[in-house]
Amino acid sequence: MNSTPAPDLSSPPEAAHAPEQPALAAAGPLASYWRSVLAILWKDLAAEFRSKELISAMLVFSLLVVLIFNFALQLDRVARENVAAGVLWVTAVFSGTLGLNRSLALEKDRGSLDGLLLTPVDRSALYFGKMLGNWFFMLIVQAIILPVFAVLYNLPMLTPLLLVFVVLGTLGYAGVGTLLASMAVHSRSRDVMLPILLLPVALPVLVAAVQGSGGVLEKRAWDEISLWFNVLAVYDVIFIAVAYMAFDYVVEE
Amino acid sequence: MIETRALTKTFGLQPVLRGVDLTIARGERVALMGPNGAGKTTLLRIIATLARASFGAVRVAGHSLPHEAEQVRRRLGVIAHHPLLYGDLTAEENLRFYARMYGLADDGAHLGRLLERVGLAARRRDLVRTFSRGMQQRLAIARGLLHSPDVLLLDEPYTGLDPAGAQLLDEVVRAATARGCTILMTTHDLEHGFALAQRAVILVRGKIVFSARADEMTPAEFARHYEQHTGARP
């Protein structure tokens, strides 16, 4: 049972409720922009660390996928090395899609998306704030999954180069995924709509991430892997740049 | 302060607003009433920059929409029946988040005064999801006033408010107009809306069918007009 003291309404309305002009933050346009981005990121992280709604769903799903593949594919070491990168990215993609969908759906269902859209910030700041949050959640899940993966598949999953591919791959996926989740959230069949929209678009990132990660696990030379690193980096930039330009139109009714 | 000309909005082939002409002067309180589906919320969402008109012109606080939407949002406050808050943040964190989004300085005293004003100072560190509907709506009032807006849009703002909360909102609305804030409010509560407004407007099937100053008629006369234009008993 919630109770709160009734507000003091005895004073004259004008005196009681005339708001003092609030002070504006002393920041230039660029600083204000990033202040808004960080405010959204902080809000998403603070809310998630209390509710654990997104991360727990993504993590449980990821663990199940890794376990199922482990038991389904009774493989020798060579075969494991060949399929490990694929299994890793299937896990990342499906749990990431789950997180992207929920992240925007929660804002929409609770009505707080309108609250965000009413604030006088460039819409791209909303995009970057949400995208960084989604990326961070994907990275947290990967940080937990990779050691589990290493144990179950008996592979060196924590090498620096593999981590670079994980960071870049999840960045590209979160980058384009946040944009498409903002589109799908207005649809009644958004749970189905997002994977249908996202997976074909994100294919270049996924192919590069799988090939690059596979190359690292198979201990191929950098010359063979660098192509996939470059493809991944270029697509990350393209996806984020396109999302930056398109987000304003996507979130409008 | 708010001006719409021939404002039209269609969803697919379905017209929701059909040539709405509405002018609201600075410091004026206008209540927009009408039956469900009349287009009240759509009109408010277009003025609030949340939706685009299909046709027609909209100016708010001297800025035209949709081109100057960011400038409009800077001077606009919205209190809706959805509180637009985050349940997993505390009352204070919600206000601090929105203060940052509105480019305000991190001023704990300002937030404290607002929470005091809406009677939630004692619950400032409690998560909003533990609040009752009425308490959330009070916090929504504080959120709407955070940046001292020049235009306040109220969409069914009394939903969920207890009598003390409703009285608080009435006083906030009167105080806001006393400092020159323009207010456009939608409500189904004819009696309350008419008593609070300086002008009452009736919207039916996307068109303004009646507009009159509240001091030029009695509530009973207005109720008769409402029934005559909408076919619904108030």
- In the beta sheet, which residues pair with residue B154? B79, B185
Stretch 17-56 of chain B: residues touching chain A, C-beta under 8 Å = 45, 48-52
Which pLDDT belongs to residue B161? 83
Rounded average pLDDT over A16-35:
73
Q: How many domains does chain A have?
A: 1
pLDDT digits (tens, 9 = 90+) for A71-127: 877 766 777 777 888 999 999 999 999 999 888 888 888 888 899 999 999 999 999
Question: Does any domain span residue A22?
Answer: no
* Helices and strands counted in chain A (H then E): 10, 0
In a domain, residue A238? The reply is yes
Residue A160 domain-assigned?
yes
What is the pLDDT at residue B102?
93
Q: In sequence order, what are the beta bridge partners of B4?
A: B22, B58
Question: What element of type H or E holds B15?
Answer: strand B14-24
Nearest by CB: A19 against B73, B99, B145: B145
**Cβ under 8 Å to A: B residues 85-124:** 85-89, 93, 97-107, 110, 113-114, 117-120, 122-123
Query: What residues contact residue A14 under an 8 Å CB cut-off, 6+ apart?
Result: B174, B175, B178, B179
Nearest CA to CA, how far is A45 from chain B (Å)?
10
CB contact under 8 A, A2 and B119: no
What pLDDT is recorded for position A6? 40
B83 touches chain A (CB under 8 A): yes
Helix axes A190-201, A77-109, angle to 10 degrees: 130
Instruction: Decide if A172 is inside a domain.
Output: yes
Per DSSP, the three-state class of A64 is helix
What is the residue-level pLDDT of chain B in tens, covering all 234 positions?
A: 899 999 999 988 899 999 999 999 999 999 999 998 899 999 999 999 999 999 999 999 999 988 899 999 999 999 988 889 999 999 999 999 999 999 988 778 889 999 999 999 999 999 999 999 899 999 999 999 999 999 999 998 888 788 888 888 888 888 888 888 999 999 888 888 888 899 999 999 999 999 989 888 888 888 888 888 887 776
Residue B32's H or E segment, with its range, is strand B29-33
Q: Does any domain span residue A4? A: no
Confirm whether A24 is domain-assigned: no
B215 SS3 class: helix
Share of chain A above pLDDT 90, in %: 57
Q: pLDDT at position A228, please?
A: 94
- Contact (CB<8Å) A43/B83: no
pLDDT at A253: 61
Confidence bin at A11 (pLDDT 50/70/90): very low
Per-residue pLDDT at A2: 41
pLDDT for residue A10: 34
Measured CA to CA, the distance from residue A205 to residue A198 in angstroms comes to 11
Q: Distance (Å) from the C-alpha of residue B225 to the closest C-alpha of chain A? A: 31
Give this complex's ipTM: 0.90
Who's near B51: CB < 8 A, 6+ residues apart?
Answer: A252, A253, B9, B42, B45
Residue A19 has pLDDT above 70, yes or no: no
Mean pLDDT of A136-149: 94
| Chain B closest-CA separation from residue A237 CA (Å) | 26
What sign has the CA pseudo-torsion B60, B63, B65, B69? Answer: negative
Could you tell me if residue A25 is inside a domain?
no
- The closest of B183, B215, B211, B141 to B1, measured between CA atoms, is B183
- Residues B26, B86: Cα–Cα separation, whole Å: 32
Give the whole-angstrom CA distance, residue A252 versus residue A229: 35
pLDDT of A162 > 90? The answer is yes
- Going by their DSSP bridges, the two strands B29-33 and B199-204 should be labelled as parallel
Nearest to A7 by CA among B148, B137, B150: B137
Query: What pLDDT sits at residue A7?
Result: 41
Asked if A23 and B113 come within 8 Å (Cβ–Cβ), the reply is no
User: Which residue among A4, A110, A121 places its CB closest to the CB of B119?
Assistant: A4
- Its domain, for residue A195, covers 30-251
Which residues of A fall within a CB distance of 8 Å from B106? 25
Does residue A243 form part of some domain?
yes
Q: Report the C-alpha gap between A253 and A243 in whole angstroms.
A: 17
Report yes or no: B195 at the A interface, CB cutoff 8 Å: no
What pLDDT score was predicted for residue A75? 65
